[in-house]
Chain A
């Protein structure tokens, strides 16, 4: 049951449902950052990563340089090395082209669904899983962008909270799992605030400094959770979707 394209599609529908509203939020934010409809949709089609895209657009709006945004996005994405290393072990032996394609759609949610299936998964199953996820993300981005233009001004201001509400919700899911994560997130937020608002470091570098320092403190201070961290995070994400 982890072999056919159709069984992949069945498992992919919930991801579509989860991605669509998040992408609508992204479309709204992208529009408020001054991107065009084409930019927004192309961005979602090629990058296909929620956190990175929100982060990039947010930094763009605050006037960060391309190099700062790129390094920040790379750091946010490094966790995917762990996801892909794990998915690779689960994939039936396959050609390089298929591997390259499966890797493109290996988002947090896709990974978590694939990794909780019993037994191995085929490239066809992965395609069935990744296509609805990608479609939900791309179509939602377009819809969000277009909806943004018809909202009254008070609502448009209020919608500015969307991004932060989403980050808060994701963080709360992590904190429910391990209370001490709240301390790591708070430390990171403090460092970033001090760097940007007090020391006047450019926003992109402040972010890089904050997550590197707070991530290192977290790795040094929190107890070992061998291999569990990735897996449990994965399950949380399925729950989100």
Chain B
């Protein structure tokens, strides 16, 4: 795996570093037009939706409801408690319980 992984590793590092570094060196990047700024600020939110679906259904392709139950648990605990540890922990616990009890 390691040898095939190296090109991806280098490319990912580059496309992560360059957007972080350019504004420190290129003056025009410090004042992007407002519509572009707005578009860029929407990207993380859109990305989360596309990262969730259809991935969470395919991850548990033998029982897609398992995946939905897991993210429902994370959504509820995330809403009421915040943080990352409690939502992730309860999500894993819900999926594990459903898996052991029903499948």
Contacts and interface: CB of A to CB of B under 8 A. Distances in A.
A104 B88 contact: no
A162 interface: yes
Given A158-B92, A184-B42, A164 B16 contact: no
Say whether chain A's binding surface is mostly helix, strand, loop, or mixed: helix
B16 A35 contact: no
A58 B51 CA distance: 9
Interface string A224-240: 10100110010000011
A229 B43 CA distance: 12
Interface stretch (A1-9, A84-92, A113-121, A131-139): A84-92
Contacts of B37: 82
Interface string B57-84: 1111000001100110111001100111
A145 B63 CA distance: 26
A168 B12 contact: no
A159 B99 CA distance: 12
B40 A81 contact: yes
B43 A215 contact: yes
A66 B15 CA distance: 12
Contacts of A56: 8, 12
Interface string A26-50: 0000000011101100110011110
B1 A34 contact: yes
B83 A240 contact: yes
